[in-house]
Amino acid sequence: MADDNYVRDDEDFDEEEVDETSYRSVKDAVLFAIDISSSMLTPRPSNDAKKPTEVSPASAALRCAYHLMQQRIISNPHDMIGVLLYGTESSKFYDEDGKSRDDLSYPHCYLFTDLDIPSADEVKALRALAEDEEEACKVLKPSEERVSMANVLFCANQIFTSKAPNFLSRRLFIVTDEDNPHAESKSLRSASFVRAKDLYDLGVEIDLFPISRPDHDFNTSRFYDDIIYKTAPSDGEAPAYLKPDTNTATAKGDGISLLNSLLSSINSRSVPRRSLFTNVPLELGPDFRISVNGYLLLKKQEPARSCYVWLGGETPQIAKGITTQSADDTGHVVEKSEIRKAYKFGGEQVTFTTEEQQALRNFGDPIIRIIGFKPLSALPIWANVKHPTFIYPSEEDYIGSARVFSALQQKLLKDQKLALVWFIPRKNATPCLAAMVAGEERVDENGVQKVPPGMWVIPLPFADDVRQNPEYARHAPPDDLVDAMCNVIGQLELPKKVYDPQKYPNPSLQWHYRILQALALDEDVPETPDDKTTPKFRQIDKRAGDYVMTWSELVDENAKSMFGGTAATKSTLVKRGPKDHDAGNPPSKRVKVEGGTTNLDDDVKRSFERGAVAKLTMPILKEFLTAHGRATAGKKADLVDRVEQFYEEKI
Amino acid sequence: MAQKEATIYIVDVGRSMGERRHGRSVTDLEWAMQYVWDKITTTVGNGRKTANVSVLALRSDDTSNELREDAHNSNISVLSRLGQVLMPDIRSLSDSIKPSNTNRGDAISAIVVAITMINEFTRTLKYKRKIVLVTNGTGPMSDNGLEEIQKKIVSDGIELDILGADFDDPEYGVKEEDKDPHKVIFTPKKWWESCLCSLQTHRHKMRACFVDSLKAAGGTYGTLEEAIAELETPRIKAVNPMPSFKGMLRLGDSQKYETAVQIPTQEEEGDPKPSQGDALTAVRMARTYQVDDPSAVGGKVDVERDDLAKGYEYGRTAVHISQIDENITRLDTFACLDLIGFISQDKYDRYLHMSNANIIIPERANDKASLALSSFTHALHLSSFYAVARMVTKENRAPLVVLLAPSINAGYECLIEVQLPFSEDVRSYQFPPLDKVITVSGKTITEHRNLPNQDLQEAMDNYVDSMELDHKDELGNDVLPIDESFSPLLHRIESAVRHRAVQPDNPILESPEILTKFAHPDEELVKNSASLLENLISKADVKKVPPKTKGRKRQRETEKPLSGLDVDALLNQEPKRANISPDNAIPEFKQMLSRAENIETIIGAVKQLCAIIESQIKNSLGDANYDRVVEELGTLRDELVDYEEPALYNDFLRSLKSKMLLEELGGDRRELWWLLRRSKIGLIDRKASDRSEVSEEEAKEFLSPS
């Protein structure tokens, strides 16, 4: 019963990111343009003695593209991705097979993956190419003739124009180690600049991922500074060109570090910036406002819902559901505007007109209004209801917003303060009281920004939302017991004593898509999931085992003296059978904290061995299953099955 | 389960209740009913069958009650019997509660009737029993059997609340001038006492006894004024905590200690869930399914629900899953709470909290677990660590990574549990630093118009310091005013629904002030920091951008690449760009405009683009070119707003609309028209461009379905 009230996922429908003003559809298209030259194809040895692999820059780029493709299927299922190889001997474009050389529109441009939402076959093909499978590698042959960059850019232009019309964000990712493609020809250079301007005017953003050669640092000023624009066409405030980023990719890395830095910098651009709200006033005092934009930097990623598939055709097809609403009595179709919301009340429905409904929900225009400041310590760790919103200044409504915001952010950082704000993120949104805290910029080891500098608005719970803590019997622990536990904790710090979300992919989400991928590509379904959230048991045992023993003995001693033997311990739910260790593992140092006389696990195990699990009572079965994290729903036969399964798995 | 309730409201409807007094716009009865209705409708709104309510009318014209044989009990009518109140009851009640033509009727007898009714209804079962009497206290009183009544109230555990209209409460600060000569007493308490006394010989004994008994039974006296004022403070529904997880908090394989129970503490849906539907007839949802079929008319064909299998999308590939494999994509898990490691408290970023907070406490009645968990909590606290753990609340649920934080207060201790983000939950959008500016050439500068200078920083520091809030708890610690802030939407809609149920014809009420208490800073605080704010405003020198110029091309200056190269000069050298090519229409159109030196060039460019748009519509197979057309039209519109030539766009759009609706552009193009409407690229009105001749209404009319 608790389950039904207890909703873990926060399905907040009015939080979808929408662009209120634009006629463009809020979608993203990324086209990789990967330079296939002989230097790009030269493998670079890795210095790592343990993993003597060789990776060429081109293959690193393809792996990144493959990685991004897989990732976007999960995170942005409606966004497009494509891969264009250039500088290849062969050419491929729509309806052109590259055989007759004369009528080629874009020679040495090979559209390997057309710009679209990827299909399973395309994922497979790209993977084959990235993993150096022979057949696929016939494509990766550099041409002797130099490819015209103007042509490459116009080719990209045509792909975007025809495949991703009216997209809010269109991005061309160029991966190359050539910093001066047309050093010798002025006209080819100018042609490239003109085509780059076309892309800019079309609203396509160029993101460069430069790779330095072992003997030569990539120098953007030689060519690329002329084709890349300072601001992104779709997002005027976004600096398309964050300098620190590109510096890192230009490091003369060996194969693996090149791949890693490329991955890191592509990952940081994997999704275009989409705002949650734009130009909302941040009111510092009466008559003093600046404007800010809001972004969702943290949002729970859920697997896409299941859909219906039509199997009547040659290939399975997704059926689109269309909902029509009709009146219950007459059956005639009703328009949205005819529908009113009703509230159940006293067995009947109470209704409001649309205008009244709107008036009820209207608590004023969107605003973030500061009503005062408090030390950061006033914000309790429990006072949280959902993910925060990130805000960053915008100069569009108020010139000077950036400097005021910066002054406020620095003051709050310096003095460890928070601002208490009245928060209405968008029109007709429910207002709430929120804590606005300053966030510092964080960069990773490659110098790529991980957490941007700005402020976070954390919605606070209302008095209505706070529940009463249930009472229970508390026993103050003696100091030596606490110290013993401190020793255990001290042994098990996470790296750098911080939680890094990047190290923990969501295991159930990954598994869901891993299986789908296997089914879609007709591969074998993998046996065991790769779950990074599973604790490192062996390491824990090695590092903290002895301290744990000390602590547990102390618990036993104290419990004995405080509660006298077993009297105070709850009767049955006390023992579990030891987890069977694999032969190679060190012997189990299991600690039985629990006292008590009845031994549930042993009883159940004995019953199992006698084949008499069915004779156990329901409460015992339930307690046993709960203790082992198994479900306890269902009839007795189900529970018996589950218990038997539990032991069968262990044998 | 909430307790069963039996509540009887005794409403004085005597003739004197129909009067308006003390400058109030409503009669005493209407005033009193504000309170009663609020109480009754709150009960109704909860929708509980076990909440029984009855209404008695006192000093009514007629008599209808169980004890009517007794002459004392005349002019008392049962308006509704004890039971769940539904809408029809509310309607009949609001019809029957009217001032009567008499002032006869005994309040004490009404209480007797109510006690009898409660007795009959609840017998000896466990009930919350309550009687609420609302009166202006001008009626007569009888002392018949008063002592027994008092005893009965106490022994039955009935709570008796008495609310008086125009009871002067000196503490509440209302003084009434035109005192009823018979009503010489000033407080409700004294009024009661005096009413009783005037009829009682053993007055002292009686008075003490009755008052005490009221108190003993948890009863209250009060004035209506206080009661109605209190209505504004939202009532919070208490929610019983329920454990959502029972299992072991485990560290590694070697250490296990006895069960921790996890109980959700917070978060309640903030929005009452409205049931969809029309007042007259419910709406039925019907779903039909379509798949793409290029050979069919319109490119789509309906399919039967029975021909469909369950599946998922992998990219644009449909993966169907047979019924046997239904759970194939589900990760098999068992319930657990396994510690992963520990992190430093001062290095934790508070904004990583992803969810509401739950608490972890030891298994009930397990002293050893309590001791063990407590040592863990204290150790975390002492060494300033948080724990990170993997949690599965039930078998086969998705694993979560949670933060466990120690919470130790004087009276309570537990672990706070909140969800942490997984790598997929983090979106890395990048933003430039706020404390420095990095130039294109990679130089770091610290003085820039986007950075505060020292004056501004100082002004900000001073202002922030002056706006410090002083909320403190009993121990003097800084706290946030969470317990004083109520969900505005929840309470506003609930009260509107209640109000509407009783008074269907009245307009909705304004939002009560208490709900928006924190919408603005405290006036005192603002006053005290006004001069510092003024200083900050002058140092900040923020300028509002006039709405008209917003989004307009800044000085029509074309954007340049990082190097600052003049691409326009290069463009001018390209001879072939005299005509806009349909393949590259948008860039070439924009470039042609930016190079235009006279209006003729602009008109020419617009003409060319318009021709391209029309031909694309004409040649569109189904909806193939629609997105392109929308993009081109949108660009055309934006540019012509910027170049202040709205008429060029408006004329074209008008002719395009008529051509499309007359099917002159390759057949039925209504779907495109619908798409244009949805994309809001209609006529440019005066709001968008002051050069436009089109009014906002006209633009709206143009887009409305014809």
Selected for mutation to probe chain A from B266, B373, B427 (highest A CB count within 10 Å) is B427
| Per-domain residue ranges of chain B | 5-231, 238-268+287-428, 554-703
Give the structural domain span for A325: 309-361
What does the alpha-carbon distance between residue B56 and residue B61 come to, in Å, rounded to a whole number? 13
The burial of A136, by beta-carbon neighbours within 10 Å (0-12 exposed, 13-18 middle, 19 or more buried), is given as middle
Same domain, A221 and A337: no
Q: Which residues pair with A398 in a beta bridge?
A: B544
* CATH number of the domain within which A438 lies: 2.40.290.10
pLDDT of residue B205: 39
- A220 close to A208: Cβ distance less than 8 angstroms: yes
The whole-angstrom separation of Cα B427 and Cα A271 is: 7
| CA torsion through residues A349, A355, A357, A360, sign | negative
The answer to whether residue B173 scores a pLDDT higher than 50 is no
Residues 6+ apart with CB under 8 A from A556: A593, A595
The reported pTM is 0.82
Report CA-CA distances (Å) from B187 to A620, B171, B183, B225, B226. 63, 9, 10, 13, 13
Q: Are residues A286 and A401 in the same domain?
A: yes
Per the domain annotation, does A335 fall within a domain?
yes
> Could you tell me if A153 and A251 lie in one domain?
yes
Give residue-wise pLDDT tens across range A561-571. 887 755 444 33
The model's pLDDT over A117-134, given as tens digits with 9 standing for 90+, comes to 999 889 989 988 988 767
Question: What is the rounded average pLDDT of the residues B597-616?
Answer: 91
CB pairs under 8 A between A and B: 849
- Domain presence at residue A354: yes
Q: What is the spatial distance between Cα A60 and Cα A260, in angstroms, rounded to a whole number?
A: 9
Q: How far is it, in rounded angstroms, from Cα B703 to Cα B706?
A: 8
Count helices and strands in chain A by DSSP H and E runs? 17, 23
Question: What confidence score (pLDDT) does residue B25 get?
Answer: 81
**pLDDT tens-digit map of A12-61:** 333 444 444 567 787 889 999 999 999 998 888 766 666 667 788 898 89
Can you tell me the distance from the alpha carbon of A146 to that of A161, in angstroms, rounded to the nearest whole number?
25
For B572, the token pair is: 């001018």
Note whether residue A445 is domain-resident.
Answer: yes
Query: Contacts of residue A289 in chain B, CB cutoff 8 Å?
Result: 542
Say if CB A304 and CB B312 are below 8 A apart: yes
Number of DSSP helices (H) and strands (E) in chain B, helices first: 19, 21
Cα–Cα distance measured from residue B604 to residue B11, given in angstroms and rounded to the nearest whole number: 81
Query: Do A561 and A626 lie in a common domain?
Result: yes
Domain count, chain A: 4
| CATH class of the B554-703 domain in this structure | mainly alpha
Give the C-alpha distances (Å, rounded to integers) separating A110 from A96, A131, A141, A199: 10, 18, 11, 19
Same domain for A203 and A177: yes
Position with higher pLDDT, B311 vs A161: A161
Please state, in angstroms and as integers, the Cα–Cα distance from residue B453 to each residue in B72, B435, B436, B460, following that order.
84, 11, 11, 11
Is A53 within the bounds of a domain? yes
| Rg over CA atoms, chain A | 31
Q: Do both A290 and A209 map to the same domain? A: no
Written as one letter, the residue type at B701 is E
Query: Which chain B residues are Cβ-neighbours of A591 within 8 angstroms?
Result: 254-257
Per-residue pLDDT for A65 more than 60? yes
- Quote the pLDDT of residue B361: 85
Interface test with A, best of B312, B344, B678 (most A CBs within 10 A): B312
Closest CA to B607 of B619, B595, B620, B592: B592
Strand partners of residue A456 = A390, A437
User: Alpha carbon of A63 to those of A32, A55, A99, A529, A530: distances in Å?
Assistant: 12, 10, 28, 22, 20
Residue A387 is assigned to a structural domain of this protein:
yes
Give SS3 for B73. helix
* pLDDT at residue number B613: 94
- Per-residue pLDDT tens digits for A299-328: 888 888 788 888 877 777 878 777 777 766
Protein fold of B238-268+287-428: Ku70; Chain: A; Domain 2 (2.40.290)
Q: Among A221, A379, A452, whose Cβ lies nearest the Cβ of B350? A: A379
Question: Which of A117, A506, A535 is opposite residue B340, by nearest beta carbon?
Answer: A535
- How many residues can be counted in chain B? 706
CATH number at residue A132: 3.40.50.410
Task: State which of B56-60, B189-193, B246-250 shows the largest mean pLDDT.
Answer: B56-60
Q: Are residues A285 and A189 in the same domain?
A: no
Give the CATH number of domain B5-231: 3.40.50.410
Up-side HSE of residue A584: CA atoms within 13 Å toward CB?
Answer: 1
Tell me what pLDDT residue B91 has.
85
Q: Does B453 have pLDDT greater than 90?
A: yes
**How far apart are alpha carbons A278 and A274 in whole angstroms?**
10
Range picked from B135-144, B571-580, B646-655 for highest mean pLDDT: B646-655
A456 shares a domain with A437 = yes
Residue A253's contacts (CB-CB under 8 Å, 6 or more residues apart) are A44, A260, A261
Ramachandran sector of residue B218 (left: φ over 0; alpha: ψ -120 to 50; beta: rest): left
Q: How far is A129 from chain B (nearest CA, A)?
A: 19
Phi/psi at A104 (nearest 5 deg)? -75, 130
Same domain, A410 and A491: no
**Cβ–Cβ below 8 Å for B319 and A519:** yes
Residue A260 within a domain: yes
Which residue did the predictor score with more confidence, B23 or A194? A194
Tell me whether residue A575 is in a domain. yes
Identity at A116, one-letter amino acid code: D
Chain A environment of B320 (Cβ under 8 Å): 309, 311, 316
Q: Give chain B's radius of gyration (CA, Å).
A: 37
Domain end (from A323, A343, A361): A361
Are A119 and A18 in contact by the 8 Å Cβ rule? The answer is: no
| Separation between Cα atoms, residue B191 and residue B184, nearest integer Å | 8
Our CA dihedral for A255, A256, A261, A267, rounded to 10 degrees, sits at 120
Does residue A246 surpass a pLDDT of 60?
no
First to last CA, chain B: 56
Average pLDDT of chain B to the nearest whole number? 79
Q: With contacts defined as CB-CB under 8 Å, which chain B residues touch A127?
A: none
Average pLDDT over residues B465-486: 86
Residue A134 lies in a domain: yes
Distance from CA of A93 to the nearest CA of B (A): 15
Q: Do B416 and A382 touch (CB under 8 A)?
A: yes
Report the residue of A309, A591, A625 to disrupt the B interface, i.e. the one with the largest count of B CBs within 10 Å: A309
pLDDT mean over A350-373: 88
Q: How far is CA A648 from CA A615, A624, A628, B332, B336, in A?
A: 18, 15, 14, 16, 20
Question: Do residue A357 and residue A385 come from a single domain?
Answer: no
In the structure, what pLDDT confidence band is assigned to residue A2 with cuts at 50, 70 and 90? very low
Same domain flag for A348 and A394? no
